[in-house]
Amino acid sequence: MNIIFLGAPGSGKGTQASLLSLNLNLEPISTGDLLRKEVEKKSKIGILAKSQMESGSLVSDDVVVNIIKEKITTKSCEKGFILDGFPRNINQALKLEEMLENCNKKIDKVFNFDAEEDVLIKRIAGRYTCKKCGAVYNRYFKPTLKDGECDNCGSNELENRIDDNEETVKNRLKVYKESSFPLIEHYKKKHLLVSIDALKISTLVFEELKSNINN
Ligand code: AMP
């Protein structure tokens, strides 16, 4: 089974992709995570992508399409995958269809994570993670019990993503809004789109996803 998650930054796609991938033995593929790794490595791709990511704009289609092309043909994707953050526009969606056709694969479902903008801004701008164990917190909704200390592993290395500040978040949401409408229409026409209320608590979103996949 191959799945796409569409949704604005902060709509919970990443969390659900991790949960669902474990549950269904699918490979989670987040272009945002893959790009951040390239930036950290200071690779050629990372150097090209860094300034666009920091301002909240999209990285060029060629760069992300190549990253996806490489990833979906690996062995880890044989049983299926969950795409989180790709495609972000129609050109990327068409490129994806072309590469899937070439390896006899197809998209089975597209979930659209629906959520209101003001909640999304708080979800993203308030987000921080533990560098050591990866636990995720939120200044507004789920702060650490002790200030500056991870509840899970006790580390003091808590960090914000560079593009999770309020200014960049607003631009990321604007960019998302502009590009998502045609994508939603594209997958509606193909009868693949399922809308999910992303403001519900995470366990309920997860149940809704699973029941949709099983039907
Ligand atoms: P995300 O973690 O999905 O919110 O992505 C973080 C940033 O990575 C975005 O603001 C873009 O700069 C870049 N990015 C991630 N996925 C894509 C994509 N499919 N196309 C272009 N840029 C992307």
Atom 12 in ligand 1: which residue has the minimum CA distance?
53
Query: Is 154 part of a structural domain of the chain?
Result: yes
Does residue 50 lie within any of the structural domains?
yes
Cβ–Cβ under 8 Å, residues 172 and 56: yes
Range of the domain at 59: 2-206
Model's pTM, two decimal places? 0.87
Count up the domains in the chain and report the number: 1
Closest CA to 185 of 105, 101, 93, 99: 93
Give domain status of residue 211, yes or no. no
Ligand 1 centroid vs 36 CA: distance in angstroms?
9
pLDDT tens for the chain, residues 1 to 215: 999 999 998 899 999 999 999 999 999 999 999 999 999 999 999 998 999 998 888 999 999 999 999 999 899 988 999 999 999 999 999 999 999 999 899 999 999 999 988 888 888 889 899 999 999 999 988 999 999 999 999 999 999 887 778 888 888 899 898 888 899 999 999 999 999 999 999 999 999 999 999 88
Q: Which of 170, 141, 158, 131 is nearest to 36 (CA)?
A: 131
Q: Is residue 215 situated within a structural domain?
A: no
Asked if 36 is an active-site residue, the reply is: no
Q: How far apart are CA 137 and CA 210, in angstroms?
A: 25
d(CA 54, CA 35) in angstroms, rounded, equals 12
Q: Which residues contact 136 (CB under 8 A, 6 or more apart)?
A: 15, 127, 128, 129
Tell me the pairing of strands 109-114 and 136-138.
Answer: unpaired
Q: Does 7 sit in the ligand 1 pocket, CB within 6 Å?
A: no
- The CATH number linked to 84 is 3.40.50.300
Q: How far is the CA of 85 from the centre of ligand 1 (A)?
A: 6
Q: Is 127 a catalytic residue?
A: yes
Residue 32 near ligand 1, beta carbon < 6 Å: yes
In the numeric block, which tokens belong to residue 5?
């998650």
Rounded to 10°, the helix 61-72/90-102 angle is 30
Of 13, 50, 95, 123, the active-site residue reads 13
Tell me if 212 is assigned to some domain: no
Tell me: the pLDDT tens digits for 129-185? 999 999 999 998 899 999 999 999 999 999 988 777 888 888 889 989 888 889 999
* 31 ligand 1 Cβ < 6 A: yes
Please check whether residue 59 lies inside any domain of the structure.
yes
